[in-house]
Amino acid sequence: MSELLVQERSVVVPGEALAQGMDFLPGDNAYRDKDKIYSKVLGLASVSGRVIRITPLSGPYLPKTEDKIIARVMDITISGWRFDTATAYSAMLNVRDATTRFVKKEEDLSQILAIGDYAIVKIVNVTSQNLIDLTMKEPGLHKIIGGRIIKINSQKVPRVIGRQGSMITLIKDKTGCDITVGQNGLIWIKGTLEGEMKAEKAIKLIEAKSHLEGLTEKMERFLGESA
């Protein structure tokens, strides 16, 4: 007799029993041991059909191809730059993937990107050892100048962006800031000092409360208050 042992959207800890019986299937971050399904992380349980999956409340970013991230130049090599991605894995950007213009052989690469510079880049390849190749050649990808960069847990990025970008658009409108969200949890905010502070607070609020009900209303209320 199969039985669900947890409620939808309840917080579960690693090893917590989610369901009993063979009718249920373990989805993301869940696993089966004999006739029970358990959680593998601290997160929110959700059931769709027979699949139980856990949305982590926190956790490391796993680099994926096509992800847009914000990273910092930590080294300049003969062929390009090495980036710190705020994960365990550094990423390489080759000169030919950095710009559409022709770069001469003797050109000083630090004129394009210097050590310590931040940039919005895209992951084009991830090896089995999690080594990452980047590109900066597409529209929307560039070196970051000005503003501030904040870091949130990468698991919260979907909530900060919102369904079809609704949440991030709301924050941009109400604060007048340009905001770029990296999938690795780094977020670039550029606007007035007050606008940036408000946007930072709003994003931190989402990070702290995203697992609770009524997030959109909370955010509208927070952003509706005068700066």
Residues that bind other proteins (CB under 8 A): 11, 13-17, 29, 31, 33, 38, 40-43, 56-60, 62, 72, 87-90, 118, 128-130, 144-151, 153, 155, 186, 193-194, 197, 200, 209, 211-213, 218
Do 34 and 26 form a contact (C-beta atoms < 8 A)? Answer: no
> Of 103 and 215, which CB lies nearer to other proteins in the complex structure?
215
Instruction: Compute the least distance from the CB of residue 141 to other proteins, in Å.
Output: 18
Distance CA 47, CA 24 (A): 9
Instruction: Compute the least distance from the CB of residue 151 to other proteins, in Å.
Output: 7
Report residue 177 as tokens.
Answer: 């800031």
Neighbours of 105 (CB within 10 A): 6
Instruction: Compute the least distance from the CB of residue 148 to other proteins, in Å.
Output: 5
Pairing of strands 186-190, 148-151: antiparallel
Instruction: Compute the least distance from the CB of residue 201 to other proteins, in Å.
Output: 10
> Of 10 and 99, which CB lies nearer to other proteins in the complex structure?
10
Do 189 and 199 form a contact (C-beta atoms < 8 A)? Answer: yes
Angle at which helices 166-175 and 215-224 cross, to 10°: 10
Question: Which amino acid does the sequence have at 13?
Answer: V
Whose tokens are 């606007």? That residue is 191
> Of 22 and 145, which CB lies nearer to other proteins in the complex structure?
145
Furthest-apart CA pair in the chain: how many Å? Answer: 72
> Of 103 and 178, which CB lies nearer to other proteins in the complex structure?
178
Report residue 148 as tokens.
Answer: 């501030």
Instruction: Compute the least distance from the CB of residue 222 to other proteins, in Å.
Output: 9
Of 141, 142, 134, give the one whose Cα is nearest residue 83: 134
Instruction: Compute the least distance from the CB of residue 2 to other proteins, in Å.
Output: 19
> Of 98 and 154, which CB lies nearer to other proteins in the complex structure?
154
> Of 103 and 148, which CB lies nearer to other proteins in the complex structure?
148
